[in-house]
Amino acid sequence: MANKLSDYLDSIKTCLKCDSAVKASVTRELQTHLEDKSQELKETGLSEDEANNIATESFGPPSINRSA
């Protein structure tokens, strides 16, 4: 997984206010969705960096996602 996605997921983990098991589950789920979105974008001809940027931007700022 590229750094942009890892950094984004780390930011979300930091914002989540729940126990470690729930935090791990939410992070895995988000990782799957981010990687799928990034892969779809790469298949349209975007570079990995462009695809990762768009994928993370489509999820919004990490602080908004903390209520998971």
The pTM of this model reads: 0.82
Tokens of 16: 């989540």
Closest CA to 33 of 11, 68, 59: 59
What is the per-residue pLDDT for 62?
A: 83
Give pLDDT tens digits for 1-56: 568 899 999 999 998 889 999 999 999 999 999 999 999 999 999 999 999 999 99
Domain borders along the chain are 3-14+23-59
Q: Report the distance separating Cα 67 and Cα 16, nearest Å.
A: 7
